[in-house]
Structure 1
C-alpha cells in the first residue's frame, strides 16, 4: 500500500465504491483500478487489500464467487444488498470528514 497512513482508514470506502461502480471485481483488478484512477499515487499491496476484503465479507457487505478465466480460478467480489447501503453510509462519512478537515486546514491565524 502507499506509505500514506491516511489511506488505511479509507481503504474499505475505496473498495466499496469501486465495487458499486464496477459490479464485480477480483483482487488484482481492484489494485490496478486504484493505481489507474490515482495515476500511480496509491499502490495497494495484497497485504493491505485482502484483509480489508475479508473483513468486508465477514461483515456481510461483500459476497464472493469464483470463475475460471484462461484456466485460472479467479475469486470475484461483489456487494451484497447490505453492502450497497454501506457504500452510501461510508461515502457520506468520508465527505463529512473531508469537509471538516478542509475547514480546519484553511483556518487563518487571527490578526491582532
Structure 2
C-alpha cells in the first residue's frame, strides 16, 4: 500500500485489537491476519511489528509465553489486564479519529 504511513500510527492499536480478539498470537500469525483482513492491502513487516510488540511488552500491556513448535521456540503474545483496558481506550480514540477524518473528507456521509 502506498500510504502505509497512514497506518503506522495505528499499528499498536491494530496489534492490541487482534490480540483482544484472538487471545494470544505469535508474530508471523499477526502479520498474516492483518494481510488476510485487509485483502492484502496492508503488509506489516517484521521491522515494524517486533519493535511495536517489544514496546507494548515494556509498557506492561503484553505478556510473552514461549512454546516449543517443532524444533524451535515460538513467542506468543497476549494482553495483560492493563493491556485489555488500554485496548479499549485506544480503540475508542481510533474510532473518534476515523469519525473526524470522515467528517473532513466526506462531510455529507452519515455514520
Which runs of no fewer than 5 residues in structure 1 stay unpaired? none
Equivalent residue runs for 1:31-50 within 5 Å: 31-50=31-50
Equivalent residue runs for 1:86-105 within 5 Å: 86-105=86-105
Runs of 4+ in 1 over 2 A off after TM superposition: none
Which runs of no fewer than 5 residues in structure 2 stay unpaired? none
Query: Which deviations, in whole Å up to 9, do the C-alpha atoms of 1:10-39 show, x marking residues without a partner?
Result: 100000000000100000000011011111
Quote the Cα distance in structure 2 between the aligned partners of 1:8 and 1:75: 23
Q: CA deviation at 1:107?
A: 4.1
Query: Which deviations, in whole Å up to 9, do the C-alpha atoms of 1:29-52 show, x marking residues without a partner?
Result: 000110111110000110000000
Give the TM-score normalised by the residue count of structure 2.
0.92
Tell me the SS of whatever aligns to 1:44.
coil
Quote the Cα distance in structure 1 between the aligned partners of 2:37 and 2:106: 26
Rg larger in 1 or in 2?
1
Give the TM-score normalised by the residue count of structure 1.
0.92
Q: Does 1:10 align with 2:10?
A: yes
Quote the Cα distance in structure 2 between the aligned partners of 1:105 and 1:40: 24
